[in-house]
Amino acid sequence: MAPAIEFPEPFLAFLKENNLSLDEYAFEVPLPRYIRVKPQLAAALDINAVEAELGTPLTKVDWLDGFYRLRGDVNIANSALFKRGSFYGICVSSGVAVHALDVAPDDHVLDLCCAPGMKLCYVADLQGSDGQGTVTGVDLSPDRIAVCKGLLKKYRLERARLFIADGTKFDVYAPSQVGKSAVTPSLLSSGSAIRSHESVIDDAVDLDADQVSLPTNSLSSTIHCIPSRTEAGTGAKTKPFHATRLIRNDPQLKLPSLLYDKVLVDAECTHDGSIVHLLKKAILGWSDIEQNFLNPSRLETLEGLQRGLISNGYRLLKPGGILVYSTCSFAKKQNEDIVAWFLKQHPDAQLEPIPGVDKFPLARSLVNDYPEMDLSYTIRFSPIASRTSGLFIARIRKGK
């Protein structure tokens, strides 16, 4: 079968340089699209009514909860149910990246490259409304973060905040205050409780110096550090672009116990596996992707950016926490090469299998290209094998 998209020469050169085959793009157009029904509304939502409104059958995705497949040419934007926030559009392969985090109700989650924001919504769905968990989104683009803000409001996320920042340098820890209560950092034990916020700061400041050690630059350090009152959050803060009411007044403490439970690094990449993105470029023109993603100077800096993102995400992750690294590229340089480099830098880090992986319709693995490194738990989705956009995913556990 011929490729479904007619690519320009710079893109073909990129494929050749990265040993990628045009066969990856020999899929039937259009690919299916996917929606996720908000779990709070799932019981009351009549799927037959959704099918009638959209004018297409919905097929439940049996390997990822809450997802439905529909015809790729269906426009969901005009749906009244969509406008009311009953469901949202997100490719099921991107859903797996969030699923791999194994989000719990009380988890504090960092999405280090959050735009356009659908993964933020999915994280919040998994946290539910009863816990104390929060989601923090970071993106460098003001325009893209503004889109995220619109989604947060539309889907009524209650414990979320957004920052315009460089993900390789972002340094705001998880919220210590949710609503009127403080999430007490576990200073000397692994337990947790909810107490008044002032008492948390007082405890942090009043401990004797010989009970603590100064922080180190080691990403694998588990030493507890107690801040001064100024360091505990009464000094200058990084102003969020947007924060929902329950975490708007967070003082931004920097206790090690306020590192994030889960971190998602859906890294900037060349987008060569994002079929929706490529189909748009085939219609609107390729100048943007050639200038911003495929020009030589951009490709030279991309590896450093991806290394910086995964490294900073790991630095902000709690010992024992989970980091998920993903891209929508087929290129090994942006995927397996990055993970292999990272694991060499951090011997305490361990690749882990993604829950439910045996049910996923996966593309061929490239792990045999790495005989000196066990990358067997990394996975790939592709249009042909998975009927989704291309996605690479690795789940990494931080050592304790």
C-alpha span between 20 and 363 (Å, rounded): 13
Question: Quick one: tokens of 169?
Answer: 């340098």
How long is the chain? 400
Residue 264 near residue 324 (C-beta atoms within 8 A): yes
Burial of 364 (0-12, 13-18, 19+ CB in 10 A): exposed
The 3-state secondary structure of 133-148, one letter per residue: CEEEEEECCHHHHHHH
Of the candidates 113, 148, 269, 328, the residue annotated as catalytic is 328
**315-to-24, 64, 146, 167, 173 alpha-carbon distances in Å:** 35, 30, 26, 12, 10
203 is in an annotated binding site: no
H or E stretch including 11? Answer: helix 9-17
C-alpha span between 132 and 179 (Å, rounded): 9
Q: Is 328 marked active-site?
A: yes
Catalogue the E-assigned strands of the chain. 33-37, 59-60, 67-70, 87-89, 108-111, 134-139, 160-164, 177-178, 181-183, 194-195, 242-243, 260-266, 317-327, 350-352, 379-381, 391-397
- Would you say the C-alpha torsion 248, 249, 252, 256 has a positive or negative sign? negative
Question: Quick one: tokens of 346?
Answer: 């951090």
166 is in an annotated binding site: yes
C-alpha span between 210 and 317 (Å, rounded): 25
46 is in an annotated binding site: no
Q: How far apart are the first and last CA of the chain?
A: 49
Residue 150 near residue 162 (C-beta atoms within 8 A): no
C-alpha span between 206 and 229 (Å, rounded): 10
User: Residue 215 in 3-state DSSP?
Assistant: coil
Question: Quick one: tokens of 75?
Answer: 């426009």
Indicate which residues carry an active-site annotation: 328
Annotated binding site for S-adenosyl-L-methionine: 139, 166, 266
Binding residues: 139, 166, 266
